[in-house]
Amino acid sequence: MLIFLLSSVFIAGFCLAAERGLEIEYPSLPGVETPTTVKTALPDFIRYFFTFSIIIAGVLAFGAIVLGGIRYLTSAGAAAAMSDAKDQITSGFLGVIILLSSFLILNTINPQLILPEKPPLTPTESGVRIYSNTDNCGETAIDEDKEINSMKVFQNLPVFKKEREGEIVLDWGSDGEYQIESVEFLCGPEELTVEIFPEEDFSGTPYLLDYEESEYIEGITHCEDFSSSTDHRSIKLDWHIPGVYLYAEDDCSDEPKIYQASSDTLPDFDNRTQAIKLIGGDYDASLGKYQIRYGVALHEHENHQGRAAIFDFDTVVNAVGYGQCYPISNITSTGQVNMTFYVSSITVYQEPRYKEDGTEQIIGAGVRFYENKNYAMHDEGADCESKKPPQIFGDGRSVSNVDPLTYCADGCSSGCNDKFTSMEMDGHYIVLLFEHEDYQGRCQVETVSNPDFRPHPIGQCGWLGRTDCLTSFIVRARK
């Protein structure tokens, strides 16, 4: 109750502060950052609140124990007063136990909530560093009588030479004192492409700096030689953030929309997707593979309804090459036929990471389909002696025309009378269930077991919608 009251007071104070510009000055506490603005991150507020509550509640609990002890010692001969004092001491100890329990619970949920200080941040380098008077990024000077100069670039620069109020504040490029002779990449090849333009504001035909994955060694920066005789007056950094890139042009010439999670709708991009790129991350040079790989299912309607098509990382890369444009009309290579449609929602998933031997870390065996709900097998009585679980389908399996006798049979002769009613999933998978053959018609996406298809569109076909619609399906492993 005490912690609840303290929580209410603290939250009310915080809300008032947020509304009126943080007029409250929070007291300083040992080992925790004191909030000074409403823009303070929520984890910092939680950490401060927890520490504040523990200190106040601990002081009150200790005070209750001490006060109860004094009352007990001064109440000799008064049975009722001694009993009340004992109850007060017991309540104080109970408060201490509750405090310790809350500590253990929060530590179990998220240890970061109870750390007295912020965890240390590991600094990272990104972007590029440009050098003058050296063609090997600072190792040796071209003209030993001149100094080597360098500048870190982490955003687009529309000009290399810039003046402000008559003073030169940037003096690089073809029109400046410092000519670019080499460029040092501070990140991996999957993260960045650099374009150096002959004119200001990114005009003219750019010089492309994009070193190969085979040249990348983790933890070692990479240097690219650049001839100062090549005109250079502006620079653009094209970041390759891992994720699913959606384009409105089938040649990917426009600005993309980038997704790393599923979306029920596509604000400002509804019915515009014509092409995709799948960009990976965490490149493992020893395996020659990306550990972070995204796949995507494109849906015709919002909320993942209507027709759908799935694109996994390896399929797209094998078809057009890594980082290349993949028009969604080019869909036959995925085994899906005549599936061109407008896109209004997407399901994004991460594919399994690779183990040291190069195989995927697939979790679980796959999925099974059952005739009855709650994963119950067909019952033919005692005459059926060969009953066994239905066939299981793992990563990469797809069936364009489901035969109930073949794919749902559990060892008995009849198979499923009305095909599938439930699906049991063992592990981490994404399953696309289609209404018609060849992965066409309405599609339903599942990422967990479904004990009953009947309340869902894929289970509402036939007379009065009492039989399932499932006729083809695709199974893909996910992280």
User: Tokens 């040092």 appear where?
Assistant: 184
Determine contact, residues 180/173, Cβ cutoff 8 Å.
yes
Q: What does DSSP assign to residue 110?
A: -
Q: What pLDDT sits at residue 154?
A: 77
- Do 248 and 231 reside in the same domain of the chain? no
Residue 50 maps to a domain? yes
Q: Quote the strand ranges of 240-293, DSSP E.
A: 243-247, 257-259, 275-279, 281-284, 289-292
Task: Give the pLDDT score at 109.
Answer: 64
Does residue 225 share a domain with residue 269? no
346 DSSP 8-state letter: E
Domain final residue pick, 211, 239, 267: 239
The reply to whether 95 and 10 lie within a common domain is yes
CATH number reported for the structural domain that contains residue 184 in this entry? 2.60.20
Residue 460's SS3 state is coil
Co-location of 6 and 52 in the same domain: yes
Domain membership flag for residue 357: no
Question: Per the domain annotation, does 361 fall within a domain?
Answer: no
In a domain, 121, yes or no: no
Whether pTM exceeds 0.75: no
Residue 286 resides in a domain: yes
Nearest residue to 259 (alpha-carbon basis) of 350, 194, 321? 350
235 and 265 part of one domain: no
Please check whether residue 283 lies inside any domain of the structure.
yes
* Predicted pLDDT at 382: 46
Q: Domain end: 113, 148, 174, which one?
A: 113
- Rounded to whole angstroms, the Cα distance separating 278 from 256 reads 12
Specify whether 228 is located in the same domain as 152: yes
The count of domains in the chain is: 4
| Residue 52 CB neighbour total at 10 angstroms | 17
Q: Which domain holds residue 159?
A: 128-239
Asked whether residue 341 falls in the same domain as residue 396, the answer is no
Q: How far is CA 92 from CA 78, 96, 149, in A?
A: 21, 6, 67
Non-local CB neighbours of 380 within 8 Å, separated by 6+ positions: 387, 412, 413, 414
Residues 180 and 252 in one domain: no
Residue 160 has what pLDDT?
93
Same domain assignment for residues 343 and 254: yes
Q: What is the pLDDT of residue 20?
A: 42
For residue 118, tell me if it sits in a domain: no
pLDDT of amino acid 417: 52
Q: Provide the residue-wise pLDDT of the chain in tens; the chain has 479 residues.
A: 444 454 554 455 544 444 444 445 666 665 555 665 554 555 566 666 767 777 777 788 788 888 888 887 887 777 777 788 788 888 878 877 887 787 777 666 655 555 544 444 344 456 789 999 999 999 999 999 999 999 988 778 899 999 888 888 899 999 999 999 999 988 776 678 899 999 999 999 999 887 776 666 666 778 989 999 999 999 988 777 788 989 888 888 777 888 988 999 998 888 989 999 898 888 887 888 889 999 999 999 998 988 888 899 988 888 888 878 888 876 544 445 445 678 999 999 999 999 988 899 999 999 988 878 888 775 545 455 455 667 788 888 777 776 654 555 444 545 555 577 888 999 999 999 988 888 888 899 999 999 888 888 888 887 776 677 888 889 999 98
**Do 472 and 385 share a structural domain?**
yes
User: Environment class of residue 138 by beta-carbon count within 10 Å: exposed (0-12), middle (13-18) or buried (19+)?
Assistant: middle
pLDDT of residue 370: 82
Are 45 and 85 in a shared domain?
Answer: yes
Name the 3-class secondary structure at 288.
coil
CATH number at residue 440: 2.60.20.10
pLDDT at 411: 47
Q: Which of 113, 139, 169 is the last residue of a domain?
A: 113
Is there a single domain that holds both residue 324 and residue 247?
yes
Give pLDDT, residue 298. Answer: 92
Is 359 inside a domain boundary? no
